[in-house]
C-alpha cells in the first residue's frame, strides 16, 4: 500500500459555463471563487487536501486565472505551483499530463474544485487503499442514492476485488471528482489534449483501474442546482 500521499493537482481550468444561469454578480464569478461557507468554494477542497497532509499542490488555471491564482496564494501555506492553460484548454486528461512532470514520478491526487463530500478522512483512506503494484488509477466513487447535483445514470461497475469496468446501463456508482494516479500512465499518452476517460480505459484494459467507494453525502457544486445543494449541506 502507498500510504501518505504528499502531492495533489487541483483542477481549476474550466470555463464555468454551467454557472452562467446564476444571478449577477455570481454569474461573472469564476466557479472556484463562488461564495461558500464563509469563504469560497475552492476553500473547502483546499481544507480537505490540507487535512490529508498534502504538502505540494499544483493548480491548473484558465478562466479568470489571475483571480483564482491570487486567492489560492492567500489560502495555501505550503508548496504551490501553477500550471497555466492560457492558450487552450487541454481537457481533463491533458491537464493532468501537463502537471504530472511536477511530481517527480510520485503518485498524486487529482481533485476537481467543485466536488464536495462529508466524509472528513476520505482522502487519507483512499491513500491507504492505493496499491501501486496493482493500480494505475484509483477513483473515488460516489453513490447516486447519496448524491446531489449529479444528473447522470452512473459510470462504473466494480468486481469483488475493486476493479472497475464501465457500466453499460444504469449504475449506482459514478466518478466522485477525486482520483489517485501513477503519472506514468498519463505521460504515456502522446497527445496534448484528451479526456481522462481515455486513460481510465487504458488502465481498465490493463486490469489496473480500481475504485474506492465514498461513504456519506456527496455534492457536485458545478451546476446551479448542485451549488444550491452544497450551500444547503452546510446547514
Average pLDDT, the chain: 92
Packing angle of the helix pair 196-205, 91-100 (nearest 10 deg): 80
In the DSSP assignment, the letter for residue 23 is P
Closest CA to 136 of 165, 107, 159: 107
Per-residue pLDDT, 21 = 56
Q: Degrees (nearest 5) of the Cα angle 226, 229, 233?
A: 140
Question: What is the largest distance, in Å, between two alpha-carbon atoms of the chain?
Answer: 50
**Whole-number Å distance between alpha carbons of 194 and 96:** 10
Instruction: Compute the average pLDDT of residues 22-28.
Output: 70
Is residue 37 very low, low, confident or very high in pLDDT (cuts 50, 70, 90)?
confident
pLDDT for 14 beyond 80: no
Q: Which domains does the chain have, with CATH numbers?
A: 7-234 (3.90.550.10)
Peptide bond into 24 cis (omega under 30): no
Instruction: Compute the average pLDDT of residues 54-79.
Output: 96
Is residue 1 very low, low, confident or very high in pLDDT (cuts 50, 70, 90)?
low
Predicted TM-score of the model (pTM) = 0.94
pLDDT, tens digit, for every residue of 207-222? 999 999 999 899 998 8
Higher-confidence position of 15 and 169: 169
Amino acid at each position: 500500500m502507498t500510504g501518505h500521499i504528499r502531492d495533489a493537482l487541483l483542477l481549476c481550468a474550466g470555463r464555468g459555463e454551467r454557472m452562467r444561469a446564476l444571478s449577477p454578480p455570481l454569474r461573472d464569478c469564476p466557479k472556484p471563487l463562488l461564495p461558500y461557507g464563509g469563504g469560497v468554494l475552492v476553500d473547502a477542497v483546499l481544507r480537505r487536501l490540507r487535512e490529508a497532509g498534502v504538502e505540494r499542490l499544483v493548480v491548473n488555471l484558465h478562466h479568470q486565472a489571475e483571480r483564482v491564482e491570487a486567492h489560492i496564494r492567500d489560502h495555501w501555506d505550503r508548496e504551490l505551483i501553477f500550471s497555466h492553460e492560457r492558450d487552450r484548454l487541454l481537457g481533463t486528461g491533458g491537464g493532468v499530463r501537463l502537471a504530472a512532470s511536477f511530481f517527480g514520478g510520485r503518485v498524486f491526487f487529482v481533485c476537481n474544485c467543485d466536488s464536495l463530500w462529508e466524509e472528513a478522512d476520505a482522502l487519507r483512506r483512499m491513500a491507504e487503499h492505493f496499491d501501486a503494484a496493482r493500480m494505475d488509477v484509483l477513483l473515488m466513487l460516489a453513490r447516486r442514492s447519496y448524491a446531489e447535483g449529479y444528473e447522470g445514470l452512473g459510470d462504473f461497475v466494480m468486481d469483488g476485488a475493486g476493479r472497475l469496468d464501465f457500466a453499460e446501463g444504469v449504475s449506482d456508482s459514478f466518478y466522485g471528482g477525486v482520483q489517485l494516479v501513477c503519472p506514468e500512465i498519463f505521460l504515456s499518452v502522446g497527445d496534448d489534449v484528451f479526456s481522462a476517460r481515455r486513460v481510465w480505459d487504458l488502465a481498465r484494459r490493463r486490469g489496473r483501474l480500481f475504485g474506492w467507494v465514498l461513504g456519506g453525502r456527496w455534492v457536485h457544486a458545478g451546476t446551479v442546482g448542485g451549488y444550491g445543494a452544497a450551500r444547503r449541506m452546510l446547514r
